[in-house]
């Protein structure tokens, strides 16, 4: 396994996955925000439903491409078809590549002036 490959457990099965690219991370984030914005409303109109489904399909397509083995990919697709897999079950694919080193550092903001003695 390379630095960009991890083994994750999904529904009791060890699956090797490759890290999403930067562009894939950004695209998944954008599509997830679209779905969240639509779900914040009390009602969802008929025009929003196809957009939400397309956004969710895009995220699933990206996650599917990160699975190394064709056999594991088919296993996940079968689980999805049977209704035995939820989107949060796939979160280890993303979270397995997050590390404390990659987390952005908090910016230190200093307010005011320092005390000066005369």
User: DSSP assignment of 95-110, as one string?
Assistant: HTT--TTTSPPPPP--
Residue ranges making up the domain that contains 36: 5-95
Cα–chain center distance at 113: 42
Flag whether 53 is in a domain: yes
Q: Which residue has the higher pLDDT, 13 or 44?
A: 13
Flag whether 114 is in a domain: no
Flag whether 110 is in a domain: no
pTM of the model: 0.71
Flag whether 65 is in a domain: yes
What's the number of domains the chain is made of?
A: 1
pLDDT digits (tens, 9 = 90+) for 14-71: 999 999 999 998 999 999 898 888 888 777 788 888 888 899 899 999 999 999 999 9
């Amino acid at each position: 396994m390379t630095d960009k490959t991890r083994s994750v457990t999904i529904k009791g099965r060890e699956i090797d996955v490759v890290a999403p690219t930067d562009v894939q991370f950004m695209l998944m984030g954008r599509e997830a925000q679209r779905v969240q914005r639509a779900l914040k409303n009390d009602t969802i109109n008929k025009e929003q439903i196809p957009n939400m489904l397309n956004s969710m399909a895009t995220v699933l397509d990206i996650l599917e491409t990160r699975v190394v083995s064709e056999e594991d990919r088919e296993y996940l697709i079968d689980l999805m078809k049977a209704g035995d897999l939820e989107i949060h079950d796939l979160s280890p694919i993303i979270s397995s590549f997050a590390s404390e080193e990659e987390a952005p550092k908090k910016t230190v903001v200093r307010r005011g002036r320092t005390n000066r003695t005369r």
